Amino acid sequence: MSAIAVRDVSVQIGSSTLIRDISLEVDAGTWCTIVGPNGAGKTTLVETVAGLRRPSTGEVEMDGENLHSMNERSRALRVALVTQHPIIPVGMSVLDYVALSRTPYHGLLRAPNATDRQAVAQVMERLSLEEYADRDVITLSGGERQRAVLARALAQTTKVIVLDEPITGLDLRHQMTILELLQNEVRHHGLTVLATLHDLTLAGQFADRLVLLDKGRVVLDGPSGVVVRSKELSECYQMELRVIDVDGADVVVPARH
């Protein structure tokens, strides 16, 4: 059974259709990245898979259960989300911020228990955040902050994590750090990742599979090496893209004339 199954999903707002008849299955313990130009519907798709948007038609299943017939709490036990522009609260310690992840376990009226504290501590250790535990999360640098956001999503200990442009605004080193941390979770902890990325090189290098989206439809769905070399990719971006092999890794560059 797929960890995520999107079946014939369309999302309409008023008279405009943001995504149309999308079907997509992601196996457990794999990484699938959605690529496509601005306005392709990537964010709408991940928000729908995260349960924030209700599909106008079609359904999203996680482990065989319909995501949109669950309440918020049950959904939060199955899928964690990293939004494109996370809102960082003022005056909250990094530890308290990461501990928000345990809300679906202990509820809104009870305090976190030992299991919750342990889950938070483990993730903070894996992401080397222990030294920042008492720091105000707003005082962290961009890279550290994104690591805290990722820690919050991972400490939710869901099987599936959905990330919308998780490396926006980070320098190269921090981009790699975030993606490598995620890859580690996929390889060693069986996490299933559905992400959107603008950087086609990094998208190709880190995902097992790429889904190319344009004008709200799936244009191409396949192994990363195939999608980055496809003519459809150049067509969607309306420009010539070339793939250079650098020590076995695909690097996607625009061709300038």
- 246 forms part of the interface with other proteins (CB under 8 A): no
Which has the closest alpha carbon to 22: 30, 37, 13, 12? 12
> Nearer Cβ to other proteins, position 73 or 231?
73
Residue 139 interacts with other proteins (CB under 8 A): yes or no: yes
The site map against other proteins for 190-229 (x = CB under 8 A) is ----------------------------------------
- Report, in Å, the least distance between residue 193 CB and other proteins: 15
Among 77, 176, 181, 226, contact with other proteins (rule: CB under 8 A): 77
Is 257 in a helix, a strand, or coil? Answer: coil
Contact with other proteins (CB under 8 A): which of 101, 146, 196, 205?
101
Burial code (b: 16+ CB inside 10 Å, e: under 16) for 171-201 equals eeebbebbbebbbebbeeeebbbbbbbebbb
Among 44, 83, 146, 205, binds other proteins (CB under 8 A): 83
Q: Is 108 near other proteins (CB under 8 A)?
A: yes
Contact with other proteins (CB under 8 A) among 15, 16, 64, 109: 109
Give the residue with the Cβ less far from other proteins, 151 or 220. 151
Least Å from the CB of residue 156 to other proteins: 7
Compute CA distances 223 → 184, 191, 230, whole Å: 19, 19, 11
Least distance between other proteins and beta carbon 48 (Å): 12
User: Position 127: which residue type?
Assistant: L
Among 7, 12, 17, 92, binds other proteins (CB under 8 A): 92
- Fill in the DSSP letter of residue 199: -
Dist CA 102 CA 97 (whole Å): 10
Where are any strands of DSSP class E within 51-100?
Answer: 57-62, 65-66, 79-82
Applying CB under 8 A, does 46 fall inside the site for other proteins? no
| Total binding residues toward other proteins, as defined by CB under 8 A | 35
Tally of helices (H runs) and strands (E runs) in the chain:
10, 12
Contact at 8 Å (CB) between 206 and 252?
Answer: no
- What H or E segment, with its residue span, contains residue 72? helix 72-76
Contacts with other proteins by CB under 8 A lie at 47, 50-52, 71-73, 75-77, 79-81, 83, 86-93, 96, 100-101, 103-104, 108-109, 134-136, 138-139, 156
